[in-house]
Amino acid sequence: SNVAAHLMEGKIELVGTRPEALLKGEGAVIQWKGERAGAYKDENGELHVLDTTCTHMGCEVEWNSAEHSWDCPCHGSRFSFDGEVMEGPAKKPLKKIAYSDTDEVRHIPY
């Protein structure tokens, strides 16, 4: 697709990259069916895809590659790679997304 347009939108040049391309132990924010999503490939090669909307008040969590967690910048909630609450104030896990590798997925900027 149009590289210049993607750059203008601030998109990193990973369009077409699929979560399958993640290395084991690596996570990333991706775009899934037009929505921001979080993907993590565990040590067994299994993909965990989550809605990155924090269950506290709706901020977008970011991948913490040092801790392998999804961290919320707003009030400090932290979630495990599969979305379980590690630290509040959030009380509910991140929503899991049923991922199918037949659909288009691409990375979006942090």
Residues that bind ligand FES (CB under 6 A): 54, 56-59, 72, 74-77, 89-90
- Which residue's CB is nearer to ligand FES, number 24 or number 95? 95
Going by C-alpha positions, the residue among 63, 91, 96, 98 that lies closest to residue 77 is 91
Report the nearest approach of ligand FES to the CB of residue 56 (Å): 3
- Which residue's CB is nearer to ligand FES, number 10 or number 58? 58
Going by C-alpha positions, the residue among 96, 59, 51 that lies closest to residue 77 is 59
Asked whether the beta carbons of 42 and 50 are under 8 A apart, the reply is no
**For 107, what's the count of Cα atoms within 13 Å in the CB-facing half-sphere?**
19
CA angle 51, 105, 32 (to 5 degrees): 25
Report the nearest approach of ligand FES to the CB of residue 77 (Å): 4
Report the nearest approach of ligand FES to the CB of residue 79 (Å): 9
- Which residue's CB is nearer to ligand FES, number 7 or number 86? 86
